[in-house]
């Protein structure tokens, strides 16, 4: 009888584990609908160039904003230099429609400063005539305080190698803040703009290009719910890390 009871308990634990994994997968899949492809083409001398990134929608005071990393619309490259060939129009891709963004004023005003000097995030207001609120998904319900303990980090984006959406999920990571920064031989006290996330169970490489502008979500270990913690703006490949602009810098743009 004792062995039978232990066997039953073992089966119940296994089933609970399988159920938890299935629920986690479903929760991760549900976040997919909040990420949107933003892309555009420009004519080069001998070819057509393509620019691509990711973004999401957020609502404030009955207004809708499209949020992405600033460099996705400004054409500022990794060397903090503006690519003058960058598209003048970038299109937010909905299921059966596109919403064009005129990037010319964004490019003209972009200073292309290093990330530690200028938060790499932009909130582009949309005209209500351009969009039907019922046809998009806004992330507002995921807003909240960053969990003290988290078990999972998730983001969905559009890697440049494909137009399909893909996920990045990690269960082994460390979130660092207020890091000491040295730039061009100058010392800055702290990087207060980003969450610098070191990932231990995934490889950060060039395949992350195109994820820029993705919303980043943490699962709260206590409640099991996901919380929006910022906007992916870049990677640090040697440190196998992600740079995420903290939400407060986005919220300042929405005021």
Output the tens digit of pLDDT for each of the chain's 255 residues. 555 555 555 554 444 444 444 456 788 999 999 999 999 987 655 556 788 999 999 999 889 999 999 999 998 887 788 888 889 999 999 888 889 999 999 999 989 988 888 899 999 999 877 777 668 999 999 999 999 888 899 999 999 877 789 999 999 999 988 888 777 777 767 888 999 999 999 999 888 989 999 999 999 999 999 999 999 999 988 889 999 999 999 999 998
Rounded Cα–Cα distance for residues 29 and 82 (Å): 35
Which pLDDT does position 138 carry in this prediction?
Answer: 95
pLDDT for the residue numbered 133: 64
SS3 225: coil
pLDDT, position 14: 47
3-state secondary structure of 241: strand
**Model pLDDT, residue 225:** 94
| 212/158 Cα distance (integer angstroms) | 9
Instruction: Please tell me the pTM assigned to this model.
Output: 0.86
Closest CA to 180 of 194, 166, 161: 194
φ/ψ of residue 72, rounded to 5: -65, -30
Strand 215-220 and strand 194-199: pairing? unpaired
Whole-angstrom Cα distance, residue 88 to residue 90?
A: 7
pLDDT at 238: 87
pLDDT at residue 204, as a whole number: 93
In three-state secondary structure terms, 185 is: coil
Supply the pLDDT for residue 19: 41
Sign of CA dihedral 92, 86, 53, 218: negative
Q: Is the separation of the CB atoms in 180 and 116 below 8 Å?
A: no
Measured distance CA(118)–CA(84) in Å, rounded: 20
Tell me how long the chain is. Answer: 255
Nearest to 71 by CA among 126, 120, 33, 3: 120
């Amino acid at each position: 009888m004792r062995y039978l009871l232990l066997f039953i308990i073992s089966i119940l634990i296994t089933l609970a584990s399988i159920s938890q994994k299935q629920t986690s997968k479903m929760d991760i899949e549900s976040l997919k609908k909040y990420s949107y492809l933003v892309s555009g083409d420009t004519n080069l001398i001998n070819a057509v160039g393509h620019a691509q990134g990711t973004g999401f929608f957020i609502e404030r005071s009955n207004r809708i904003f499209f949020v992405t990393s600033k460099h996705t619309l400004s054409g500022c490259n990794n060397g903090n230099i503006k690519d003058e060939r960058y598209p003048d129009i970038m299109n937010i891709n909905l299921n059966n429609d596109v919403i064009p963004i005129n990037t010319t004023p964004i490019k003209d005003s972009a200073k292309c400063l290093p990330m530690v000097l200028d938060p790499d995030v932009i909130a582009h207001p949309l005209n209500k005539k351009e969009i039907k609120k019922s046809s998009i998904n806004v992330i507002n319900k995921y807003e909240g305080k960053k969990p003290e303990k988290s078990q999972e980090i998730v983001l969905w984006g559009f890697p440049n190698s494909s137009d399909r959406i893909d996920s990045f999920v990690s269960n082994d990571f460390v979130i660092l803040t207020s890091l000491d920064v040295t730039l061009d031989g100058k010392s800055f006290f702290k990087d207060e703009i980003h969450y610098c996330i070191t990932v231990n169970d995934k490889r950060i490489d060039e395949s992350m290009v195109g994820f820029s502008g993705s919303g980043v979500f943490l699962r709260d270990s206590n409640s099991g719910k996901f919380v929006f913690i910022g906007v992916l703006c870049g990677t640090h490949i040697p440190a196998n890390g992600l740079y995420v602009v903290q939400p407060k810098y986005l919220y300042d743009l929405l005021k």
